[in-house]
Structure 1
Amino acid sequence: MHVHPLITDSATLANLCARLSQAPFVTVDTEFMRESTYYPELCLIQIADTEEAAAIDPMAPGIDLTPLLTLLTDNDDVLKVVHAGGQDIEIIYNLTGRTPHPLFDTQVAAMALGQGEQIGYSNLVDSWLGVQIDKGARFTDWARRPLDARQIEYAIGDVTHLSKIFPKMLERLRKTGRGAWLDQEMERLADPANYANDPDVAWKRVRVSSRKPEVLGRLKAIAKWRELEAQAKDLPRGRIVKDETIADLAGHAPRKQADLAKVRGLSQTWAGNDIGARLMAAIEGARPLPEDEMPPREDRKPGLGKEGALVADLLKLLLKIRARDIDVAPRLLARGDELELLAAGQRDGLQILQGWRFDQFGRDALDLVEGRMAFAVLNGRLTMTRTEAAA
C-alpha cells in the first residue's frame, strides 16, 4: 500500500478524493481535541482504501476539505468503514450537517462475530492481524504543529490496518450469514438525529428527582440557556454551569439576580454581570413543562411488579445463554428495557419480536414468558428445554 506524505494542500487532496471515489470502500478515522471546546477541534483526518492511504491536515492554511467531505457524505457508492466511529461521525456532522453513508462500524460488526460488545481498536487489530499497536502517540496533542513522523505513522496505521481487517470481517459475516443482522445497527449509527445538539432537549441529560412541571420547566429553560451559551463561546457545557448546579437552580429558583451570588457552583460576579442576567431571563421566562413532554416514570413500566421483575431476570439469563450458544454479543440481540417490556406483557413495537432478532432470540423469549420453555441443566450446562405445555 502506498502511504502519502501528510496532505496540506487542496489540489493534492482533490486528486486523492477523485481516486478514492472509485473504490468500493474507504476506511476513515480522525484525531481531535475537545477538552476545552464545545465542538471537537478536528486536527487530522486519515483515509485509505486497499491501494493507498493518507493523512490530511485540516488545520493547514487555505486547505479546502470540500472534496473529502463530499466523498464521505454524498457518495453512496463508497462504503465508509470506521471503528467505534461515533465521535468521528459527530465531527463530520458538525462540519456538514450530514453523516457518512453508507456506513460500516467494525466494533458493531465484532459484536455479531462474538468479539464482545465494545472491543477496542488495538485488540481488534491484534485478533485479526496479529499486530501489536504502539500506543505511545495515543494521547498526543494533535492540535500542536508541526506533527512529527511518529504521530503521523500512528494515525495512518488506524486506517491501513482497518483496510485489511474489513474484507476479512465481511467474508466471515457472509459465511455465517450474519451480515443482514447489522443493517439496522449501521443505519441507526448513521442517523443524523443522533448527532444534533438540540438545545430544546438538553434538559433530558440532567438528572433531577422532582417531577413537578414547574421544576422541569425551569430545568428545560436553564439547560437550553447553558447549551446556547456553550455553543456561542465554544466551551464545554460544564465550563458554563455544571449539571448539579442546574438541578439546584431548577429546584430552588433565585428570585432576583443578586441571589445568584449565594448559589453553590456559580461565581459571585454573576450577581451583576451579563451572563447572570441572561441566566435570570431564562429562569423568569420558564413555563411549566407540558404534560406531553413529561418523562415516563421509571417505575411505571406496564405491569412490571415484583413477579414481572423476576420474569425480566429470567429473560436476561436466557439472553446470556442464547448469546453464548450462537457466539454473539448479548447487546446486539436485545436491550434490557425491551426485556422488561416483554416481561410486563408488551408485544407491539419490540425489536426482539421482529426480523432476525425474533428468529435468534425473540421466539424463545416469548415462549419463556408464555410458559412454553423452561431452564434445565444437562451435563452441567445450563440450557433451555420445551415444556409439556409447548408439546
Structure 2
Amino acid sequence: MQTPLYIDNQTALETLCEELKSASCIALDTEFLREKTYSARLCLIQVATEQTIACIDPFKLGNLDPFMEILFDRHIIKILHSARQDLEIFYHLSHKVPGPIFDTQIAATLLGLPDQCGYATLVKQLLTIELDKTQTRTDWNQRPLDTAQLNYAADDVRYLIQLYPLILQQLHTSGRQDWLNEDFIHLEDPDIYQLPLDTLWKKVSGHGRLKGKQLAIVKQLAGWREKHARTQDLPRKWVLADDVIIALARMAPEHPQQLEKIRGLNNSRSKNRGEEILAEIRAAHDMPKEQWPLIPTKKTSQDEDVIIDLLMSVLKFLAEKNGISPAILGTRKDVEKLLTHDAQPTLMQGWRKHIAGNQLEEILSGQQILKIQNRKLQLESITSNQK
C-alpha cells in the first residue's frame, strides 16, 4: 500500500501543487468537525492522482493558496464522493465553488446502486475491497495524527481515483456518460451553500403544524438565530433550538416573565437575549399579513390522483427498464409536482429527466400512449398523423 505524503509545511505544499498542475483529474476528500461551530472546521485535506496520495494538514500551514489554485483550475476534474459538504467548506473558505466536479455517489445511481450509496459500499462493489473502519470515530481536531489515522484518511482518495475510470467506462457502455452533466454543474452553484435568511424558516422542524402569524414568528426567529450563529460561529441549536422556536411561535410571549415558562430558554446564552427574542416576536406581529410565510395547501383533484397513479406505474416501469430503484427515480410527490407544473420538478432535472421526466411529459401532452401487449406495459410514440 502506498504511504501518503504528509504535507505540513509551505514548501511541501508548493511542491505537491506543482505536480498536481499536470493532472487531468484528482480525487479529493476532507475531514472536518462542526459539532461545536456554525461553520465546519477543516482538519485535513486528502488528495490523490494515479501516482501520488497526500494528506494536507491545514493546521500546520500558513495558507492554502497554492492548493486553492488547483481547486479552481478548470482543466482539472475534481472527483469526490458525496461532494456537497466538502464543496461547502471550500466555498466558505474562498466564496467560490471548485470545479469541474464528478461526484461518484451521484454517478453510482446510474449504475443501479442504491440512492446515496456509501463510499465503502461502492469500493466493495466495484473494487471488491473492504475498507478499514477502525478510525471512524477519530477526532481530526487533535494533533499529532499517527500513521494509522493518515492511512485511514488516505483510503478515502486512494480508491476514489481508481473508481473514476471504472464508473466512466460503465456510464459510457450504457450511453449515459452525458446524463450527469447538469447534476455536476448544479454542484458548482454558490446559492446551494448559502441559504437566504428569509427562507430559513422552512428548515425549522415542526413549522408545518403552524400557520399565519405563528409562521411569521418562526421566520423572524429563524433569521435572528442565523445571524447570531454565523457571527459567533455557534451551531444553530446552541443559539435557539427548533423546538424552542416552535414553542415561542405558539405562545407568542410579550414579557420577559413569560419566557421563563418555556423549557429550553433557561440556558445562559438564550436567557441573556430575552429582549432580542421579544423584539423579533413584536416584529412578526407588526408584519403585514401579505408578508406572512405560506405553506402550500393545494390538493390534487380526484382526476389528478388517478393520473398520478397511472404515472407512478410508468415511473416504476421506466425504473426497472433502466435498472434503477423506483424510489430513487422519483416519489409520488415528485410526480405530483410534475403534473401541477411546479417551478422546478425533480423529475425534469439532471439524469432523472433523461430516464423518466421527458417521457412522462410526453404522456401528459399526448405524444406517447400506454399499451399492454403480451401482458407487458409498453410506451408508444404518437405521430402527428395519428393525433
TM range (shorter): 0.7 to 0.9
| 2:377 counterpart residue number | 383
Question: What is the SS of the residue equivalent to 1:6?
Answer: strand
- Tell whether the 8 Å contact from 1:28 to 1:159 is kept in structure 2 after alignment: yes
In the alignment, structure 1 segments of 5+ residues that lack a partner are: none
Change (3 A) 1:348 1:239: closer
Q: Equivalences for 1:236-385 in 2 at 5 Å? A: 236-267=235-266, 274-286=272-284, 287-288=286-287, 291=290, 294-297=293-296, 299-300=297-298, 304-330=300-326, 333-334=329-330, 336-344=332-340, 346=341, 352=347, 360-366=355-361, 368-369=363-364, 373-374=369-370, 376=372, 378=374, 383-384=377-378
| 2:29 counterpart residue number | 29
State the AA in 2 paired with 1:79: I
Q: CA deviation at 1:340?
A: 0.7
| 1:18 counterpart residue number | 18
| 2:187 counterpart residue number | 189
d(CA) in 2 for partners of 1:328, 1:249: 44
d(CA) in 2 for partners of 1:147, 1:124: 27
- Tell whether the 8 Å contact from 2:42 to 2:89 is kept in structure 1 after alignment: yes
Q: CA deviation at 1:159?
A: 0.4
d(CA) in 1 for partners of 2:343, 2:281: 40
State the AA in 2 paired with 1:321: F
Q: Equivalences for 1:74-153 in 2 at 5 Å? A: 74-153=72-151
State the AA in 1 paired with 2:17: C
Question: What is the SS of the residue equivalent to 2:264?
Answer: coil
d(CA) in 1 for partners of 2:239, 2:325: 39
- Tell whether the 8 Å contact from 1:323 to 1:330 is kept in structure 2 after alignment: yes
State the AA in 2 paired with 1:325: K
d(CA) in 1 for partners of 2:10, 2:37: 26
- Tell whether the 8 Å contact from 2:338 to 2:347 is kept in structure 1 after alignment: no
d(CA) in 1 for partners of 2:191, 2:167: 28
Tell me how large the CA RMSD over aligned residues is.
3.0
Q: CA deviation at 1:313?
A: 2.9
Change (3 A) 1:300 1:170: same
Q: Aligned pair count?
A: 381
State the AA in 1 paired with 2:120: S
Q: CA deviation at 1:149?
A: 0.9
TM-score, scaled to structure 1: 0.87
State the AA in 1 paired with 2:317: I
Q: CA deviation at 1:359?
A: 5.5
Question: What is the SS of the residue equivalent to 2:260?
Answer: helix
d(CA) in 2 for partners of 1:68, 1:353: 36
d(CA) in 2 for partners of 1:221, 1:368: 43
State the AA in 1 paired with 2:210: S
Q: Determine what percentage of the aligned residue pairs are the same residue.
A: 33
- Tell whether the 8 Å contact from 1:46 to 1:155 is kept in structure 2 after alignment: yes
State the AA in 1 paired with 2:142: R
Q: CA deviation at 1:150?
A: 0.8
Q: CA deviation at 1:385?
A: 5.3
d(CA) in 2 for partners of 1:193, 1:114: 30
Question: What is the SS of the residue equivalent to 2:32?
Answer: strand
State the AA in 1 paired with 2:67: L
Q: CA deviation at 1:103?
A: 0.5
d(CA) in 1 for partners of 2:326, 2:184: 17
d(CA) in 1 for partners of 2:157, 2:267: 49
Q: CA deviation at 1:335?
A: 5.7
| 1:63 counterpart residue number | 62
State the AA in 2 paired with 1:227: E
d(CA) in 1 for partners of 2:8, 2:349: 49
- Tell whether the 8 Å contact from 2:316 to 2:326 is kept in structure 1 after alignment: yes
State the AA in 1 paired with 2:115: E
Q: Equivalences for 1:217-236 in 2 at 5 Å? A: 217-236=216-235
- Tell whether the 8 Å contact from 2:219 to 2:293 is kept in structure 1 after alignment: no
- Tell whether the 8 Å contact from 1:90 to 1:195 is kept in structure 2 after alignment: yes
d(CA) in 1 for partners of 2:50, 2:162: 7
User: Structure 1 residue 166 and structure 2 residue 164: aligned?
Assistant: yes
The worse-fitting range, judged by mean Cα deviation, of 255-264 and 277-286 is: 277-286
TM-score, scaled to structure 2: 0.88
d(CA) in 1 for partners of 2:222, 2:346: 32
Q: Deviations over 1:288-330 (max 9, x none)?
A: 2663673341x315xx223322322332232122111112354
The worse-fitting range, judged by mean Cα deviation, of 335-344 and 309-318 is: 335-344
State the AA in 1 paired with 2:184: M
State the AA in 1 paired with 2:40: P
- Tell whether the 8 Å contact from 2:123 to 2:163 is kept in structure 1 after alignment: yes
- Tell whether the 8 Å contact from 1:93 to 1:99 is kept in structure 2 after alignment: yes
d(CA) in 1 for partners of 2:158, 2:267: 52
d(CA) in 2 for partners of 1:192, 1:166: 25
d(CA) in 2 for partners of 1:218, 1:86: 30
- Tell whether the 8 Å contact from 1:315 to 1:365 is kept in structure 2 after alignment: yes
